[in-house]
């Protein structure tokens, strides 16, 4: 599995601690340094079963500068949101774990991390 993290994020550190405690094998992607492409964001969204606005941190300064809260949240606006996430990776909700079974979870809670771990063992 792979986990997208920001090392400064307490939720990310907590997820890593739990993964380590469970002896999980995973790869860390510091997504602020190794910025996901638009195609990678689309792939993760498909795995999550979510839309880009569902994983956008709308309270970040960049979100306010872009006026994201006023953007449409429909199929016609989807690519605009994906481009914003690729252009401003700090807007991506974290951590995101892509499980070995092809799914993904936004792992902001211990239960979500455990869900990803369970998917990796199936």
Question: Catalytic amino acids?
Answer: 9
Q: Tokens at residue 36, please?
A: 């996901």
- Exposure of 19 by Cβ count < 10 A (0-12 exposed, 13-18 middle, 19+ buried)? buried
Q: Percentage helix, strand, coil, to 5, in the chain?
A: 50, 15, 35
């Amino acid at each position: 599995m792979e986990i997208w993290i920001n090392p400064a994020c307490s939720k990310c550190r907590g997820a890593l601690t739990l993964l380590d405690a469970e002896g999980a094998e995973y790869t860390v992607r510091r997504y602020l340094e190794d910025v996901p492409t638009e195609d990678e964001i689309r792939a993760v969204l498909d795995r999550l079963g979510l839309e880009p606005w569902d994983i956008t941190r709308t309270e970040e300064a960049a979100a306010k500068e872009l006026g994201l809260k006023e953007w449409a949240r429909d199929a016609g606006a989807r690519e605009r949101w994906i481009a914003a996430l690729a252009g401003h990776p700090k807007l991506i909700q974290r951590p995101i774990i892509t499980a070995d079974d092809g799914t993904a979870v936004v792992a902001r809670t211990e239960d979500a991390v455990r869900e990803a771990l369970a998917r990796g063992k199936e």
